[in-house]
Amino acid sequence: MLKRMPRAMQWALFPLIAVVVLSGCRDKARVCERLRTVAGMEPDAVRKCLTDLQDTVRHRDAERFARYVDLPQTVLIQGQRTIVETEEQFAQNFAEIINERVRRVVMAQRFDDLFVNWRGCMLGSGEIWLGQGGRIQRINNAPENVRWAELPLRYLEPCGREIIAPLCHRDAQKAVAQIRLVVAEAEVQLLPDAATGGGVVVYKADVNNDGLPEVVVTAHGQGSGGYSSVEGVFQLAPQGVTRLPFQDVVIRSLFPKGDMSRFHMSLAEPFLIRKDDTVYMGFADGVKPTYYRWKPGGRFQPLKAGELRLEGR
């Protein structure tokens, strides 16, 4: 096309073309630098992963796409938050998980436009997050107008597992107010305020498996870190409220030397599961959760990998 233009016009366009080229080079260099220094990822591996994902989406290759996904994943299927645990489950529901909105995001994503932070790199507006090794850490396939946290949570294949839902806001307020009336002042200051609803989720279940229900107060960070933790476990009885030594039990069982630095930073999703009349608590550092059984007598026992997943198939 340039050959057909007058020479004067060609010379006039060269600075504009140079600016566009140089701008593209700077974008590429910026993304590569942030991948290495911020996310700890190799740019060439990320570029290859993006190209491969676009190829699998273009050809609707469900099995190949599933091999890139860290499991389990919680995605929207049939209007519910659904926990997908195996590549087979993912491939069978590929069309609904990688819906048209997610497909468009993947196909339109340019390497030079990737957003990078300490979590990894983001495609689109967060529809897909890539982490170490080009693995898909997170898929967000719900429409933007969906209130994600309010949707029911289920396993695609329950296999005898029951997800214990948190208390509604009103019941959570009542439980925390009752606790605040009787616990020591020092402990009150450490207890989150359920009245505001800001990041506080409360459960009621027999978490220490002694035959009596407990109230578990959890706090959830509102920032990009998404950290969450158990703030206190209480037994509410007519004669009063007892704070159970949750942290002491965890340290004594899992960290006899008292070093908690390697303990999980977040609660798993789901946090509480009941199976065969036993309650399990889940924690996670990344994608894969670890579940624990709080046994009567004050022992906190981690389950072996897969002990709860897809049992009884």
- The average pLDDT across 197-216 equals 88
Asked whether residue 9 is domain-assigned, the answer is yes
Asked whether residue 146 is domain-assigned, the answer is yes
State whether 145 and 192 are in the same domain.
Answer: no
Integer Cα distance of 136 and 75 in angstroms: 13
Last residue of a domain, one of 155, 186, 208: 155
State whether 175 and 112 are in the same domain.
Answer: no
Domain count, the chain: 2
State whether 25 and 113 are in the same domain.
Answer: yes
Q: From residue 305, how far is each of 68, 288, 290 by CA, in Å?
A: 20, 10, 8
State whether 59 and 149 are in the same domain.
Answer: yes
Percent of the chain with pLDDT over 90: 51
Asked whether residue 92 is domain-assigned, the answer is yes
State whether 183 and 147 are in the same domain.
Answer: no
State whether 147 and 172 are in the same domain.
Answer: no
The tens digit of pLDDT for each residue in 74-88 reads: 999 999 999 999 999
Tokens of 311: 């049992």
Helix (H) / strand (E) containing 185? helix 185-190
Residue given tokens 């096309």 in the structure block: 1
Residue type, 50: L
The tens digit of pLDDT for each residue in 48-80 reads: 999 999 999 999 999 999 999 999 999 999 999
Domain limits at 119?
2-155
